[in-house]
Structure 1
Amino acid sequence: MSKSDLDRIDRKILYELMRDAALPVAQLADRVGLSQTPCWKRVQKLEAAGVITGRVAIVDPETIGLGLTVFVEIEAADHTSEWRATFREVVKTLSAVVEVHRMAGDVDYLLKVLVPDMTAFDAFYLDLTRALPCRNVTSKFSMETIAMSTVWPIDVTTP
């Protein structure tokens, strides 16, 4: 399913579910202007097509003891397919890594890491650098999260 396959109703469904995935089908249907059965069938179609990839509860990290957010910039030791494969396998084993991005520019990869404190980050850093040869690893510590959203900017007005 491509962007062009999504009509306004599909986009409205996605918007509402991004805001609240626990929304009952009756309320979702009402918000998007459908009856329950067609609405539910559209949700199932969006899931089957891989547009909806999961439904989760969003938890405040600090309330579960993950008070330190760190953005880790990695410059690859080399750009071989072997290094990239090793990188992918290593980051899968590090549970503190919540996002991984391959970047353009001065940095090759950007990791978002959530840990309890500096001691835990130091252990994470040592595990990472022991398992993966890197040219450079730079850490940037978040002082405060000003804005964060899981609601993507989807156009719900265009037919």
Structure 2
Amino acid sequence: MAKVLVTGMSGTGKSTVLRRLGLRGYRVVDTDTDQWSHWVTLPDGSPDWVWREDAIGALLAEPDDGGLFVAGCKSNQGRFYPLFDHIVLLSAPADVLMARIAARTDNPYGKQSEERNLILHHLAVVEPLLRATATTEIDTRIPLDETVTHLEHLANARRAPVSK
């Protein structure tokens, strides 16, 4: 079975689809924890929350007999794209993202105006970069079960090597 990266901006539904896929028996890893990610200081002095490359490398080197879904959106994730069968961008318009972030109760990120502004900035600047490297894009305005089913189909299909 395939190894699938599920990426996208805050509010697109990465954590929600991961929970649902986990309930369906798939192995899922949300990389927004200290086990998988850590803070680094960039050359310009700004902080960045990036993948722990040793941990992600070890995870992706494991056998994938039951399918693996990894969710995250980190500046260093592109280094691992060759190890995934599918790179899936979850997307939704800004108004949908902002409404979801305002309503969610399981993640405090995006409740502050500075965070919302950063999300909108990332939507304009980062999402096009993710779109250019994704093998599949899913607009998550469709029902959750349809998104999850689409991801399940990908887990059962290996992708032929693609150069991007």
With the length of structure 2 as denominator, give the TM-score of the two structures: 0.23
- Greater Cα radius of gyration, structure 1 or 2: 1
